[in-house]
Copies of this chain bind each other. A is one copy, B any other.
Amino acid sequence: MTKQTLASTALTPISDVDGTPLYRQVKRALIQLIENGHFAPADCLPNESVIATSLQVSIGTLRKAVDELVAENVLVRRQGKGTFVTTHNSDRFLFQFFHVERRATDLSQAHEYPDVECVSFEKTKASEEEATALGLRLGAPVYRIANRLMLSQRPVVLDRLCISQAMFHGLTQAQFTNRTSTIYNLFQQEFGITVLRANERARAVPASLDASRILGIAPKLPVLEVHRTAFTFGDKPVEYRISTINTQQHDYVSLLSKRS
C-alpha cells in the first residue's frame, strides 16, 4: 500500500493567527498540501493521530476538518485502510455533474457508459463568452475541443469544451483520443488539476446545423444545451463546456437527491 511517511510531508504546526476556527485552518492547511503536490491524488495521508500531533491540534479537531473535506469530495476515508486524496477515475465522477440517462421504462440499466469520439481539436483564441467563463482576457490562447458521446451505439451528446492553453500546456489530440478514462481524470493525471465542483445552466434550443449533423438529427429539433463551468481549488475556473443533448430518448438528470 502507498503510505506517506511523515518525513516526506510538510506537516508543520498551524500558526493560529486570525479568529477563524482552528479546524478550518487545519482544512486550509490540508488543501494547501494537496495543491502544492505534497499529497497527490490517490495518495494515502498519514494516519489521523500523526497529522493531529504534527499540526499540534487534537484528533477531534483534525477529524472535523477531514469531515468537511470528505463532504467536498477532496478526501475519501476508508476504515481500516486510511484517508486518501480523491481520484476521478471512479464510476461516481463520470456521473457526478451532468448525467444523461435513458428514459428506460424497461431495463434498469442505471449507468450506461458512453463511447467518446473526438470530433475536433484546435488551438485558438478565447471568445468573449469563453474568456468570461474561464477568467481569461479576450483572445487568450485556449484549446477548443469537440467530442461526440455515443450511448447504445447512437450519438446522444455533443460536448464542446474550452480550456486554457496556459493551464494545460502541451496537451495533444493524441492524449485526448487515447485516454482510457474520463476527461477529468486526464486533467488530474497529466496536469495535476482536480475538478471539485461545477456550475451548470440548461436551456432548450433548436439544434444548429452543425450539431444536427454531428448528432444525426433534423436541424432545429429541440435539443438541450447545458453550459458548464468546472472549478478547482480556490474557485478557480478550469473548463467551460457546452453540451448539446438529444433528449428524444434520454433525460438530463440532476442529483439533488441526498437520500437519507
A: which residues have CB within 8 A of B? 71-72, 96-97, 101, 103, 196-206, 222-224, 227, 235, 245, 247, 250-260
Contacts and interface: CB of A to CB of B under 8 A. Distances in A.
Nearest to A74: B260
Most B C-beta atoms less than 10 A away, residue of A96, A103, A224, A260: A260
**Number of copies of this protein chain within its complex:** 2
B204 A256 contact: no
B254 A202 contact: yes
B202 A251 contact: yes
Chain A binding surface, main DSSP class:
strand
A251 B203 contact: yes
B222 A202 contact: no
Contacts of A97: 256
Which A-B residue pairs are the 9 nearest by beta carbons? Answer: A222-B222, A203-B247, A204-B204, A201-B251, A204-B222, A254-B254, A204-B224, A202-B252, A204-B247
Contacts of A203: 224, 247, 250-252
A205 B202 contact: no
A94 to B, nearest CB: 14
Contacts of A253: 199-202
B254 A256 contact: yes
A254 to B, nearest CB: 4
Contacts of A198: 256
Contacts of A202: 202, 224, 247, 251-254
Contacts of A103: 201
A252 B247 CA distance: 15
9 contacts: A96-B256, A103-B201, A199-B257, A200-B253, A200-B254, A222-B222, A224-B224, A235-B259, A255-B256
- Which residue among A199, A204, A251 has the maximum number of chain B CB atoms within 10 Å of its CB? A204
Query: A72, A97, A103, A254 — which one has the most chain B CB atoms within 10 A of its CB?
Result: A254
Contact of A200 (B206, B256, B258): B256
B259 A201 contact: no
A250 B201 CA distance: 9
